[in-house]
Amino acid sequence: MPSPLEILNTTFGYKSFRGRQQEIIDHVVAGGDCLVLMPTGGGKSLCYQIPALLRPGLGVVVSPLIALMKDQVDALRQAGVRAAALNSSLSPAEAAEVERDIRAGALDLLYVAPERLVTPRCLDLLSKTRLALFAIDEAHCVSQWGHDFRPEYLQLSILHERFPDVPRVALTATADGPTRRDIIERLGLTGAPVFAAGFDRPNIRYRVVPKREPRTQLWAFLQEEHRTDAGIVYCQTRRKVDEVAAWLASRGRVALPYHAGLDPQTRQMHQERFLDEEGVVVVATIAFGMGIDKPNVRFVAHLDVPKSLEAYYQETGRAGRDGLPADAWMTYGMADVVAALNLIERGDAPERQRRIERQKLNALLGYCETARCRRQVLLAYFGERDHSPCGNCDTCLEPVATWDGTVAAQKAISAVYRTGQRFGVGHVVDVLLGRTTERIVELGHDRLPTFGVGAELSKSEWQSVIRQLVAAGHLEPDPDGYGGLRVGESARAVLRGEMRVELRRDPAEMRKGRARRAASPSLVSETEVPLWERLRELRLELAREQGVPPYVIFHDATLLDMLRLKPRDLRSMAQIPGVGRSKLERYGAQFLGVLAGTSPGTAEPA
């Protein structure tokens, strides 16, 4: 039997394991159960794919999305692995053919949706098949406290009951403490080791900017840093998704909307274009993304805040899966805070769950308002508290000043209280600045003691102060959903001077007159662009011939290594990470031809 390292090298084209991969693989090959926590792009798939190739029998992978199954199956077949999927996208004849292959032992890996797996027909088929392992991907879906709960995952406890001797490996990129405990309990993994490979994605640059004109800000970000790159833009509502996608398209970007209000055929078409073409931007609600295996997503932008740090981590994790530089960029403003809190308060969830959701949102707001390294805050939320400042987030690249905002906080809280705890940010700021608007005069708020006491700060600075007070709980949005503010429980201690309030100074104000922040590094230099584009053109041509996404042929990281190492023969091409034996035989000569400046396929082998 070959070793795990031999399979890694000959099948997948990599010379060494990363992190705890080999430890996990050895454990599963030996027949052990486990829970694997590994960041997106960290190599989770190899932790069950290689054991499935080494253990006798069929490896069964539980996956929640058809698109993810197709991607994984396409990639495995390119690598010479016998893989198939069993899901609702197959015709009866196609499903029957897969079932015949299962009975004949002609498959190494089978991808199946959880609802399909637990049907009597599927369970009966598997009971008559020698099984190597069960891999439960996106295992956080089993937790009701997680950000992507899927009821059908609760039925997966049947696997341990029906197949007690078959090892099970549950895998996820996102799980806080309660979610981990849920996974272990609901999947019957008590006593199984937890392999936590760390949550850090050092190639992602995290940035949060104050929301002013979000579309204009987004366009500047794209023009300055991602003119031709593929990426995802997340919005909170379907209407906003449609509007932003149309607006970007009107400016010349290939931008496609994606949300649950579109018909299934349109959603499928837009997802396929995103996967199969280069430089497509998808504007989406959270309905898009889980299971997207496209490795060269160069940015994820949020025009509205997500509902939790888990959701943010999961969504931003779709950028830079290939390990190359990528951006997580978000606009954030007071309206986001109000909308998110109102969504929780007006929901029909029981109070216990709403309390958990409020805690999760507070953690997200703390991340947005922090003056510390953002990566430190993000990783600390997942229990990793020993990281040094990363040097690759906005607060590291442009350190944020803090100031004693106690007096400003007292003024803002007093203004909210004296105006009756029913007005929004705009009205409160007008009172603080002493603006005699028609509404203020009509309500008599120009006669309040707080009228005009805030002239030392600008409108945008007061908006920042109030946003931070809401994030800290000193002020709260009106639960009735009309945008008003009310005094929070901790406000009394602030007013009495018993609690010091430290605020971050808005970086947008600090940057006036400064040179623009350095953009994320480009993948290739100007002199490398022509050859880089020829390599990508060949990859796209081969992908279209076979009806697969370009990254299934080779990842960008593999093309970059070809570009920079310039192998001259098949022997040296075989040393490029990501070029396994099957791909070397199928594509090696053609890519050597491009590198040699000749027509594809004319280069001489060693």
- The rounded percent of the chain whose pLDDT value lies above 90 is 61
**Per-residue pLDDT, 602:** 44
| Mean residue pLDDT across the chain | 88
For residue 12, the 8-state DSSP code is T
Which DSSP string corresponds to 369-436?
A: H-SS-HHHHHHHHTT---PPP-SSBHHHHSPPPEEE-HHHHHHHHHHHHHTTS---HHHHHHHHHT--
Residue-wise pLDDT tens digits, 38-50: 887 788 999 999 9
Residue-wise pLDDT tens digits, 523-566: 888 888 899 999 999 999 999 999 989 999 999 999 999 999 99
Structural domains present in the chain = 4-196 (3.40.50.300), 204-332+370-397 (3.40.50.300), 403-504 (1.10.10.10), 526-595 (1.10.150.80)
Higher pLDDT, 407 or 357: 407
Residue-wise pLDDT tens digits, 255-282: 999 998 999 899 889 988 998 898 999 9
Q: Is the pLDDT of residue 146 over 70?
A: no
**Per-residue pLDDT, 605:** 44
Closest C-alpha among 362, 355, 346, 356 to residue 305: 362
Q: Is 586 exposed, middle or buried (0-12, 13-18, 19+ CB in 10 A)?
A: middle
Going by pLDDT thresholds of 50, 70 and 90, the confidence category of residue 513 is very low
Contact present, 376 and 495 (Cβ < 8 Å): no
**Per-residue pLDDT, 289:** 63
Higher pLDDT, 599 or 221: 221
**Per-residue pLDDT, 604:** 47
Cα dihedral 303, 305, 311, 314 sign: positive
| Of 18-22, 39-43, 159-163, 182-186, the least confident | 39-43
Q: Is the pLDDT of residue 354 over 60?
A: yes
Compute the chain's Rg from CA coordinates: 27
Going by pLDDT thresholds of 50, 70 and 90, the confidence category of residue 15 is very high
Q: Is the pLDDT of residue 480 over 50?
A: yes
Q: Is the pLDDT of residue 365 over 90?
A: no
Mean pLDDT of 379-392: 87
Residue-wise pLDDT tens digits, 65-111: 777 788 889 999 999 999 999 988 889 999 999 999 999 999 999 99
Q: Is the pLDDT of residue 507 over 70?
A: no
Contact present, 408 and 465 (Cβ < 8 Å): yes
Q: Is the pLDDT of residue 144 over 80?
A: no
Mean pLDDT of 506-534: 65
Mean pLDDT of 447-462: 93
Mean pLDDT of 21-47: 93
Q: Is the pLDDT of residue 398 over 70?
A: yes
Mean pLDDT of 457-478: 86
Contact present, 466 and 338 (Cβ < 8 Å): no
- In this structure, the number of other CB atoms found within 10 A of the CB of residue 251 comes to 12
Mean pLDDT of 149-173: 89
d(C-alpha 259, C-alpha 85), whole Å: 25
- The rounded percent of the chain whose pLDDT value lies above 70 is 93
**Per-residue pLDDT, 519:** 54
Going by pLDDT thresholds of 50, 70 and 90, the confidence category of residue 155 is confident
